[in-house]
Amino acid sequence: MSRFHWRLISAVAMWAIALFVIFSGNEMIFLLLIGSLGMAGLWEYFRMLERSGTRCFTAFGMACGAASFIGSFFALRTNSQTAAYDFENIVLLVFLFGVIARQMFRPTGKTAPLETMAYTLFGLMYVAWLFNFMTKIVYVIPRTAEGATLGQFYVLYLVVVTKFADMGAYLVGSRIGRHHMMAHISPSKTWEGFFGSLLFAVAASCVLIALMPRQLAYLNFLHGAILGLLIGIAAVVGDLGESIIKRSTGVKDSGALLPGIGGMLDLIDSLLFTAPLLFFYLRFLVR
């Protein structure tokens, strides 16, 4: 089968799972989905470093990542954004103490200890911390009078608009792309693809707001246009960000978990930057 067909099968399977979780409204299943995606992406990040010969504290980084996903979820579910913020700071503090303590019992060189700690910390922030904003989006929207969450529909909005931005960049760039955007990072990225990303993101944003006015009640068409542009830009930045990591570690795909797509990090790279953007937009919008 061609790469396109495998990519289509993987995409359909992932969408089916995501839609089931979102429309079920089950918070624990949502935690399982977000946690699994985030942990898989974090594992692939550490594996890319290890394959390139770079030392990192994989086990400790994975443990702190899991603690971040699980602890933030329960803090948000039972308390507030402030409690989740405090918990994340505790995890970061424990992580910093831990990596320094571990390095104390390893041979020291000129730069290797600092690089090991820095690469491990970057993975925790790049994957776990950024992807955790997906959970925060759920709880930034007030619950209904019956106690049900509505934030998962904003997560659906985010995923759809982000993936349409990726699709627009690919389709427009592959068809009419002539002017390279950042050839030293990704030779296939073009300015035509960048503007295609913006166009598809704005269109998807406005269409979703029109189709789901009750579920996305905090957004109007002006918000849709603004968010479409911002998400389109952030999606391209997220894609280029992962390209920098892959080029630095000498790999084409972050993994082989998803046939036709690559690894989990290849799937969520754009969301790592669009999720914080939507969260803060909603945080200042929802009073």
pLDDT tens, residue by residue, 61-70: 999 999 999 9
Question: Taking the CA of residue 276 as centre, how many other CA atoms within 13 Å lie in the half-sphere pointing to its CB?
Answer: 15
**Cβ atoms of 117 and 103 closer than 8 Å:** yes
Q: Looking at residue 110, what is its pLDDT?
A: 54
Which tens digit of pLDDT belongs to each residue from 162-194? Answer: 989 988 888 888 788 788 887 778 777 888 889
Q: What percent of the chain has pLDDT over 90?
A: 38
Q: How many domains are contained in the chain?
A: 1
Confidence of residue 223 (pLDDT cuts 50, 70, 90): very high
Q: Looking at residue 109, what is its pLDDT?
A: 56
CB burial string 237-262: b at 16+ within 10 A, e below: ebbbbbbebbeebebeebbebbeebb
pLDDT at 252 over 80: no
Residue 231's domain comprises 3-285
Q: In degrees, to the nearest 5, what angle opens at C-alpha 187 toward C-alphas 186 and 189?
A: 70
Q: Looking at residue 247, what is its pLDDT?
A: 85
What number is the average pLDDT over the span 29-45? 91
User: Chain-centre distance of CA 3, in angstroms?
Assistant: 23
pLDDT at 7 over 70: no
pLDDT at 42 over 70: yes
User: Chain-centre distance of CA 41, in angstroms?
Assistant: 9
28-36: long-range pairs with CB below 8 Å, 24+: 30/135, 30/138, 30/152, 31/69, 31/70, 31/73, 31/135, 34/69, 34/73, 34/131, 34/132, 34/134, 34/135, 35/66, 35/69, 35/70, 35/73
Contacts of 188 (CB under 8 A, 6+ apart): 173, 174, 177
Q: Looking at residue 243, what is its pLDDT?
A: 87
Confidence of residue 5 (pLDDT cuts 50, 70, 90): low
Q: Looking at residue 8, what is its pLDDT?
A: 61
Q: Looking at residue 183, what is its pLDDT?
A: 76
Q: Looking at residue 38, what is its pLDDT?
A: 92
Q: Looking at residue 264, what is its pLDDT?
A: 83
Q: Looking at residue 253, what is its pLDDT?
A: 67
CA dihedral (141, 209, 33, 234) positive or negative? negative
Confidence of residue 78 (pLDDT cuts 50, 70, 90): confident
Q: Looking at residue 185, what is its pLDDT?
A: 81
pTM exceeds 0.85, yes or no: yes
Q: Looking at residue 258, what is its pLDDT?
A: 63
Query: Who has greater pLDDT, 83 or 256?
Result: 83
Q: How far apart are CA 231 and CA 276, in angstroms?
A: 10
Confidence of residue 205 (pLDDT cuts 50, 70, 90): very high
Confidence of residue 255 (pLDDT cuts 50, 70, 90): low
Q: Looking at residue 116, what is its pLDDT?
A: 84
What number is the average pLDDT over the span 133-147? 88
Q: Average per-residue pLDDT in the chain?
A: 85
pLDDT at 14 over 80: no
pLDDT at 263 over 90: no
